[in-house]
Amino acid sequence: MRIGVLGAARITHGALIAPASRVSGVSVTAIAAREPGRARAAARRHRIPRVHDTYAHLLADESLDAVYIPLPAALHGYWTRAALSAGKHVLVEKPFTANAAEAEQVAAAAAASGLVVMEAHHTTHHPFTARIAEVITSGILGPIESARATFCVPVRPGRDIRWDFGLGGGGLMDVGCYPIRMLRDIFGADPTVDSARASCRGDIDRLMTAQLTFDGVPATVLSSIWSRRLLSARLELRGAHARMRVRWPYHPQQGARLLIDGPGIRVHEKADRRSSYDYQLEAFRDTVERGGLNMTDANAGTATMRTIDQIYQAAGMRLRVPRDASPTGSRENNAAATGSGDDDA
């Protein structure tokens, strides 16, 4: 499977280039960026054989089977639809689109095309996520009484795209999508949004706390890109019989640990250190080549975007707005330098 890359985002190395060197049957063979010089530099750095002058030229490359889209969130929908129109399978970074209405349009286009669209929510593909869900269904914790999922990273306010509303910025969009999707994966249900509270700089939520309910279980989701809690990635579930705490659940390869404790119960497990991005790329390859289950398909991405929209609305904030084409000027140049708003990944 030959993959082309739209944009010279920093995340591309860890999320695609390095995994492609370890996963059989996959090669990254072309790249394009708004600034051709940036694309050429990325091609030299990552040994990508072909550089296209524009995104449109890359999509017209008949040698490519698929494209990876690490552009800012406000551009995901436009270029995913463009890639589908060009007959390409798509691996698109999270968050899936700018908002749920756009996600529904992309899901409809994906269904009509017969092509694979996969949201790059790599955590879902790591077996550690399935292990957490297995603990819940095993009954060792007893009936689940509450859940709390936290993801906080420090992104100093400034020119980073995560502070740009027009490019789909915001803490919930950048890191909040992780705990939302993690809870959905382990409970096997979409939540209702009960309430949300945001601390903002302008239109950007630097800190968001949301109260959700998953199939009767109350859950708190806390995300931030700038708060007193600079760095935190945790999941905690309290059951009638025991409590489960998970350290670094969203990137299990970085030393995730699972601890269960209760009367007469103590379990301590470490996650597989193989990269979640490797598992994701294998899943993308296999779905493209053989069909079958796509755990992070367009419908799943749309469900996450609905929850994100509902949280923003509950917090009294505006929804993000799609862009119909590449922005001009230095803002996208900065986007290419900083990544897709997923720098923690």
Q: Which CATH superfamily is domain 2-122+278-294+321-338 in?
A: NAD(P)-binding Rossmann-like Domain (3.40.50.720)
> Count of alpha carbons within 13 Å of 166, Cβ hemisphere only?
9
Measured CA to CA, the distance from residue 235 to residue 249 in angstroms comes to 7
Domain residue extents for the chain: 2-122+278-294+321-338, 124-273
Q: Are the CB atoms for 99 and 321 separated by under 8 Å?
A: yes
Measured CA to CA, the distance from residue 119 to residue 117 in angstroms comes to 7
Active site residue 94: yes
pLDDT lower than 70: segments of the chain: 326-345
Domain 124-273 -> CATH class: alpha beta
User: Which tokens sit at 198?
Assistant: 């945001």
Topology agreement, domain 2-122+278-294+321-338 and domain 124-273: no
Task: Give all strands (DSSP E) within 93-140, no chain letters.
Answer: 117-119
The whole-angstrom distance between residue 203's C-alpha and the CA centroid of its chain comes to 21
The DSSP bridge partners found for residue 246 are 235, 258
- 203-260 pLDDT, tens digit per residue, is 999 999 999 999 999 999 999 999 999 999 999 999 999 999 999 999 999 999 999 9
Catalytic residue among 94, 122, 162, 206: 94
User: Which tokens sit at 151?
Assistant: 């993801």
- 112-141 pLDDT, tens digit per residue, is 999 999 999 999 999 999 999 999 999 999
The DSSP bridge partners found for residue 297 are 118
pLDDT of residue 326: 52
- Greatest Cα pair distance in the chain: 63
Q: Are the CB atoms for 273 and 95 separated by under 8 Å?
A: no
Helix (H, G, I), strand (E, B) or coil at 6: strand
